[in-house]
Protein backbone atom coordinates (compact mmCIF):
# COMPACT_ATOMS: atom_id res chain seq x y z
CA UNK A 1 0.00 0.00 0.00
CA UNK A 2 1.16 3.49 -0.70
CA UNK A 3 2.73 5.36 2.21
CA UNK A 4 1.61 8.94 2.74
CA UNK A 5 3.35 9.51 6.07
CA UNK A 6 4.64 13.05 6.43
CA UNK A 7 8.42 13.33 6.11
CA UNK A 8 8.76 17.05 6.60
CA UNK A 9 7.98 20.48 5.25
CA UNK A 10 9.66 23.13 3.20
CA UNK A 11 8.97 26.60 4.57
CA UNK A 12 9.43 29.08 1.74
CA UNK A 13 9.66 32.79 2.47
CA UNK A 14 9.90 35.76 0.14
CA UNK A 15 8.85 39.32 -0.24
CA UNK A 16 6.28 40.17 -2.88
CA UNK A 17 7.03 43.67 -4.13
CA UNK A 18 4.38 45.64 -6.04
CA UNK A 19 5.92 47.09 -9.19
CA UNK A 20 2.62 48.75 -10.09
CA UNK A 21 -0.42 49.41 -7.91
CA UNK A 22 -2.13 46.25 -6.67
CA UNK A 23 -5.89 45.80 -6.50
CA UNK A 24 -7.25 42.69 -4.83
CA UNK A 25 -10.89 43.50 -4.35
CA UNK A 26 -12.55 43.51 -0.96
CA UNK A 27 -16.14 43.95 0.16
CA UNK A 28 -17.79 47.36 0.23
CA UNK A 29 -19.37 47.57 3.64
CA UNK A 30 -22.32 49.88 4.13
CA UNK A 31 -22.48 53.39 2.71
CA UNK A 32 -19.54 55.24 4.06
CA UNK A 33 -19.56 58.94 3.15
CA UNK A 34 -16.63 59.51 0.87
CA UNK A 35 -16.26 55.73 0.64
CA UNK A 36 -14.90 54.13 -2.47
CA UNK A 37 -16.71 51.75 -4.84
CA UNK A 38 -13.82 49.39 -5.43
CA UNK A 39 -11.93 48.90 -2.17
CA UNK A 40 -9.04 46.49 -1.70
CA UNK A 41 -9.34 43.62 0.74
CA UNK A 42 -8.28 44.66 4.24
CA UNK A 43 -7.76 43.02 7.59
CA UNK A 44 -10.94 43.56 9.62
CA UNK A 45 -9.10 44.61 12.79
CA UNK A 46 -6.15 46.65 11.54
CA UNK A 47 -7.66 47.96 8.27
CA UNK A 48 -4.38 47.11 6.57
CA UNK A 49 -4.50 45.68 3.07
CA UNK A 50 -3.34 42.09 2.71
CA UNK A 51 -3.05 39.41 0.05
CA UNK A 52 -5.37 36.47 0.79
CA UNK A 53 -3.58 33.15 0.47
CA UNK A 54 -6.44 31.98 -1.74
CA UNK A 55 -5.83 34.81 -4.23
CA UNK A 56 -2.12 34.08 -4.55
CA UNK A 57 -2.58 30.31 -4.64
CA UNK A 58 -5.36 30.54 -7.22
CA UNK A 59 -3.31 32.75 -9.52
CA UNK A 60 -0.20 30.55 -9.22
CA UNK A 61 -2.32 27.50 -9.99
CA UNK A 62 -3.98 29.04 -13.04
CA UNK A 63 -0.65 30.20 -14.46
CA UNK A 64 0.99 26.80 -13.97
CA UNK A 65 -1.98 25.05 -15.57
CA UNK A 66 -1.88 27.34 -18.61
CA UNK A 67 1.81 26.68 -18.99
CA UNK A 68 1.24 22.91 -18.80
CA UNK A 69 -1.79 23.01 -21.11
CA UNK A 70 -3.91 21.74 -18.24
CA UNK A 71 -6.76 24.27 -18.15
CA UNK A 72 -10.00 22.72 -19.19
CA UNK A 73 -13.33 24.00 -20.42
CA UNK A 74 -15.95 23.49 -17.77
CA UNK A 75 -18.72 23.78 -20.36
CA UNK A 76 -18.91 22.81 -23.98
CA UNK A 77 -18.16 25.95 -25.99
CA UNK A 78 -20.28 24.81 -28.95
CA UNK A 79 -23.31 24.46 -26.67
CA UNK A 80 -22.79 27.99 -25.51
CA UNK A 81 -22.27 29.29 -29.04
CA UNK A 82 -25.52 27.66 -30.12
CA UNK A 83 -27.33 29.32 -27.22
CA UNK A 84 -28.43 26.02 -25.72
CA UNK A 85 -30.42 26.55 -22.58
CA UNK A 86 -28.68 25.73 -19.35
CA UNK A 87 -25.33 25.42 -21.03
CA UNK A 88 -23.93 28.25 -18.96
CA UNK A 89 -20.98 30.37 -19.84
CA UNK A 90 -17.94 28.58 -21.16
CA UNK A 91 -15.32 29.02 -18.50
CA UNK A 92 -12.02 27.40 -17.75
CA UNK A 93 -11.88 25.54 -14.50
CA UNK A 94 -8.98 24.05 -12.54
CA UNK A 95 -7.46 20.82 -13.77
CA UNK A 96 -8.84 17.79 -11.94
CA UNK A 97 -6.80 15.05 -13.62
CA UNK A 98 -5.25 14.26 -10.24
CA UNK A 99 -2.05 13.20 -12.00
CA UNK A 100 -0.22 16.32 -13.11
CA UNK A 101 2.23 18.28 -11.03
CA UNK A 102 -0.29 21.11 -10.63
CA UNK A 103 -2.98 18.79 -9.20
CA UNK A 104 -0.50 17.30 -6.72
CA UNK A 105 0.87 20.70 -5.69
CA UNK A 106 -2.39 22.65 -5.44
CA UNK A 107 -4.77 19.80 -4.61
CA UNK A 108 -7.89 18.20 -6.08
CA UNK A 109 -11.33 17.33 -4.75
CA UNK A 110 -11.70 13.84 -3.21
CA UNK A 111 -13.66 12.77 -6.31
CA UNK A 112 -10.64 13.35 -8.52
CA UNK A 113 -7.96 12.03 -6.21
CA UNK A 114 -8.10 8.36 -7.26
CA UNK A 115 -7.86 7.23 -10.86
CA UNK A 116 -8.20 3.72 -12.17
CA UNK A 117 -5.49 3.06 -14.74
CA UNK A 118 -7.71 0.87 -16.95
CA UNK A 119 -10.80 3.04 -16.91
CA UNK A 120 -9.02 6.31 -17.22
CA UNK A 121 -9.90 8.01 -20.45
CA UNK A 122 -8.75 11.61 -20.14
CA UNK A 123 -5.64 11.21 -22.19
CA UNK A 124 -3.34 11.45 -19.20
CA UNK A 125 -0.15 9.49 -19.53
CA UNK A 126 -0.17 7.53 -16.28
CA UNK A 127 3.49 6.62 -16.62
CA UNK A 128 4.23 10.32 -16.20
CA UNK A 129 1.90 10.67 -13.22
CA UNK A 130 2.94 12.60 -10.13
CA UNK A 131 0.32 10.69 -8.14
CA UNK A 132 1.30 7.60 -6.14
CA UNK A 133 0.83 4.24 -7.83
CA UNK A 134 -1.25 1.76 -5.86
CA UNK A 135 -1.45 -1.90 -6.90
CA UNK A 136 -4.43 -3.84 -5.58
CA UNK A 137 -5.02 -7.59 -5.88
CA UNK A 138 -8.65 -8.33 -6.65
CA UNK A 139 -9.95 -11.82 -7.49
CA UNK A 140 -6.44 -12.90 -8.40
CA UNK A 141 -6.17 -9.95 -10.78
CA UNK A 142 -3.88 -7.00 -10.38
CA UNK A 143 -5.44 -3.58 -10.63
CA UNK A 144 -3.53 -0.31 -10.73
CA UNK A 145 -4.73 2.97 -9.27
CA UNK A 146 -3.13 6.37 -8.98
CA UNK A 147 -3.72 8.33 -5.80
CA UNK A 148 -3.02 12.07 -5.69
CA UNK A 149 -2.75 12.23 -1.90
CA UNK A 150 -3.06 15.34 0.24
CA UNK A 151 -2.67 18.86 -1.15
CA UNK A 152 1.04 19.62 -0.81
CA UNK A 153 0.98 23.42 -0.78
CA UNK A 154 -0.30 25.85 1.86
CA UNK A 155 -0.20 29.56 1.01
CA UNK A 156 -0.56 31.91 3.97
CA UNK A 157 -2.29 35.28 3.92
CA UNK A 158 0.42 37.90 3.34
CA UNK A 159 0.71 41.16 5.24
CA UNK A 160 2.70 44.32 4.59
CA UNK A 161 6.30 44.02 5.71
CA UNK A 162 7.07 46.39 8.63
CA UNK A 163 9.55 48.47 6.66
CA UNK A 164 7.19 49.08 3.82
CA UNK A 165 4.38 49.85 6.27
CA UNK A 166 6.49 52.52 8.00
CA UNK A 167 7.54 53.98 4.66
CA UNK A 168 3.92 54.31 3.53
CA UNK A 169 2.83 55.89 6.78
CA UNK A 170 5.59 58.42 6.34
CA UNK A 171 4.38 59.30 2.84
CA UNK A 172 0.61 58.89 3.18
CA UNK A 173 -0.05 59.47 6.86
CA UNK A 174 -0.62 57.18 9.83
CA UNK A 175 -3.00 54.35 9.07
CA UNK A 176 -3.03 55.00 5.28
CA UNK A 177 -1.73 52.26 3.02
CA UNK A 178 -3.59 52.72 -0.24
CA UNK A 179 -4.00 55.08 -3.17
CA UNK A 180 -7.09 55.82 -5.25
CA UNK A 181 -6.70 55.47 -8.97
CA UNK A 182 -9.40 56.84 -11.23
CA UNK A 183 -10.00 55.24 -14.58
CA UNK A 184 -12.26 56.63 -17.27
CA UNK A 185 -14.79 54.83 -19.38
CA UNK A 186 -15.14 57.03 -22.44
CA UNK A 187 -18.47 57.40 -24.20
CA UNK A 188 -17.61 56.63 -27.84
CA UNK A 189 -20.07 59.21 -29.26
CA UNK A 190 -20.03 62.14 -26.87
CA UNK A 191 -16.51 61.47 -25.55
CA UNK A 192 -18.00 62.06 -22.10
CA UNK A 193 -15.94 60.48 -19.37
CA UNK A 194 -17.36 58.26 -16.64
CA UNK A 195 -14.75 58.26 -13.90
CA UNK A 196 -14.41 55.00 -12.02
CA UNK A 197 -12.39 55.21 -8.81
CA UNK A 198 -10.44 52.21 -7.60
CA UNK A 199 -8.39 51.67 -4.49
CA UNK A 200 -4.90 50.15 -4.87
CA UNK A 201 -1.92 49.27 -2.76
CA UNK A 202 0.72 51.65 -4.15
CA UNK A 203 3.76 50.72 -6.18
CA UNK A 204 6.74 49.82 -4.00
CA UNK A 205 4.74 48.18 -1.20
CA UNK A 206 6.12 44.82 -0.08
CA UNK A 207 4.31 41.89 1.49
CA UNK A 208 5.80 39.04 3.53
CA UNK A 209 5.03 35.76 1.78
CA UNK A 210 5.08 32.35 3.42
CA UNK A 211 4.31 29.09 1.68
CA UNK A 212 4.58 25.59 3.10
CA UNK A 213 5.18 22.52 0.96
CA UNK A 214 4.53 19.16 2.62
CA UNK A 215 6.72 16.20 1.67
CA UNK A 216 5.29 12.70 2.02
CA UNK A 217 6.91 9.29 1.80
CA UNK A 218 5.29 8.78 -1.59
CA UNK A 219 7.15 11.90 -2.79
CA UNK A 220 10.43 10.58 -1.39
CA UNK A 221 9.87 7.31 -3.24
CA UNK A 222 9.38 9.02 -6.58
CA UNK A 223 12.13 8.37 -9.13
CA UNK A 224 15.27 10.40 -8.42
CA UNK A 225 14.98 12.86 -11.28
CA UNK A 226 11.35 13.62 -10.38
CA UNK A 227 11.61 13.98 -6.58
CA UNK A 228 11.87 17.75 -6.41
CA UNK A 229 9.80 18.62 -9.47
CA UNK A 230 6.79 19.55 -7.32
CA UNK A 231 8.88 22.16 -5.54
CA UNK A 232 10.39 23.35 -8.82
CA UNK A 233 6.88 23.70 -10.28
CA UNK A 234 6.03 26.13 -7.47
CA UNK A 235 9.01 28.32 -8.37
CA UNK A 236 8.00 28.15 -12.03
CA UNK A 237 4.51 29.34 -11.12
CA UNK A 238 6.01 32.24 -9.14
CA UNK A 239 8.24 33.09 -12.09
CA UNK A 240 5.22 33.03 -14.44
CA UNK A 241 3.44 35.44 -12.10
CA UNK A 242 6.26 37.97 -12.38
CA UNK A 243 5.45 38.38 -16.09
CA UNK A 244 1.71 38.17 -15.47
CA UNK A 245 -0.20 40.08 -12.81
CA UNK A 246 -1.99 39.60 -9.53
CA UNK A 247 -5.45 40.87 -8.65
CA UNK A 248 -7.96 42.97 -10.56
CA UNK A 249 -7.63 45.25 -13.60
CA UNK A 250 -4.37 43.52 -14.44
CA UNK A 251 -4.86 44.01 -18.16
CA UNK A 252 -4.94 47.76 -17.45
CA UNK A 253 -1.71 48.05 -15.57
CA UNK A 254 -2.33 46.88 -12.01
CA UNK A 255 -0.77 43.94 -10.26
CA UNK A 256 2.78 43.63 -11.59
CA UNK A 257 4.72 41.93 -8.82
CA UNK A 258 8.20 40.58 -8.19
CA UNK A 259 9.50 38.13 -5.60
CA UNK A 260 12.65 39.12 -3.69
CA UNK A 261 14.51 37.91 -0.57
CA UNK A 262 13.71 34.29 -1.39
CA UNK A 263 14.72 31.78 1.28
CA UNK A 264 13.74 28.27 2.31
CA UNK A 265 14.27 25.77 5.09
CA UNK A 266 13.39 22.13 5.56
CA UNK A 267 11.83 20.84 8.79
CA UNK A 268 11.65 17.09 9.23
CA UNK A 269 9.12 15.50 11.59
CA UNK A 270 11.59 15.54 14.51
CA UNK A 271 11.30 19.34 14.46
CA UNK A 272 7.70 18.97 15.57
CA UNK A 273 8.36 16.29 18.21
CA UNK A 274 11.19 18.29 19.84
CA UNK A 275 9.44 21.64 19.88
CA UNK A 276 11.76 23.00 17.22
CA UNK A 277 14.99 21.94 18.94
CA UNK A 278 16.01 19.46 16.21
CA UNK A 279 15.22 18.77 12.63
CA UNK A 280 15.49 22.13 10.94
CA UNK A 281 17.94 22.54 8.09
CA UNK A 282 18.39 25.74 6.11
CA UNK A 283 18.35 25.43 2.34
CA UNK A 284 21.74 26.83 1.45
CA UNK A 285 22.83 28.31 -1.85
CA UNK A 286 19.37 29.47 -2.86
CA UNK A 287 19.49 32.72 -4.89
CA UNK A 288 17.30 35.52 -3.54
CA UNK A 289 15.16 35.63 -6.69
CA UNK A 290 12.89 33.10 -8.37
CA UNK A 291 14.56 33.08 -11.79
CA UNK A 292 17.92 32.38 -10.13
CA UNK A 293 16.45 29.61 -7.99
CA UNK A 294 15.06 27.86 -11.07
CA UNK A 295 18.26 28.30 -13.05
CA UNK A 296 20.47 26.85 -10.31
CA UNK A 297 17.84 24.45 -8.98
CA UNK A 298 20.02 21.35 -9.36
CA UNK A 299 22.93 22.93 -7.46
CA UNK A 300 20.93 23.95 -4.40
CA UNK A 301 21.25 21.86 -1.22
CA UNK A 302 17.57 21.11 -0.68
CA UNK A 303 18.08 18.72 2.26
CA UNK A 304 15.42 16.49 0.78
CA UNK A 305 14.77 13.50 3.05
CA UNK A 306 16.53 10.47 1.69
CA UNK A 307 16.78 7.58 1.17
CA UNK A 308 13.65 6.13 -0.42
CA UNK A 309 12.26 2.73 0.59
CA UNK A 310 14.13 -0.05 -1.12
Contact footprint for Zn ion (CB under 5 A) = 95, 97, 100, 103
CA distances from 237 to 14, 77, 110, 242, 291 (A): 14, 27, 24, 9, 11
What is the smallest separation between the CB atom of 232 and Zn ion, expressed in angstroms?
16
Residue 51 or residue 64: which is nearer to Zn ion going by CB? 64
CA angle 30, 34, 35 (to 5 degrees): 40
Q: What secondary structure does DSSP assign to 146-198, as a single string?
A: EE--S--EEE--EEE-HHHHHHHHHHH-TT---EEEEEEEEPTTT--EEEEEE
Q: How many CB atoms lie within 10 A of CB 142?
A: 8
Residue 146 CB, shortest distance to Zn ion, in Å, is: 11
Residue nearer to Zn ion on the CB measure, 103 or 231? 103
| For Zn ion, the closer CB: 95 or 262 | 95
Q: How far is the CB of 281 from Zn ion (least distance, A)?
A: 31
Q: How far is the CB of 100 from Zn ion (least distance, A)?
A: 3
> Strand pairing of 206-216 and 6-18?
antiparallel
The nearest distance, CB 131 to Zn ion, in angstroms, is 9
Q: Give the integer Cα–Cα distance in Å for 21 and 72.
A: 31
Amino acid sequence: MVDFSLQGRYIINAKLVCETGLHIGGATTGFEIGGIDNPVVKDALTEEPYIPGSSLKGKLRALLEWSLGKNKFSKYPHHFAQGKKGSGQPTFSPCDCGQCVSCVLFGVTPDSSVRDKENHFRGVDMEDSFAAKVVVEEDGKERIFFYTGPTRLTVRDSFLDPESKAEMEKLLGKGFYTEVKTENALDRVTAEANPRPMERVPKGAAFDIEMVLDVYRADVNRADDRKLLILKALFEAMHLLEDSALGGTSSRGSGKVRFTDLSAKFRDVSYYSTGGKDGQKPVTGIPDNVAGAIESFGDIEWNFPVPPDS
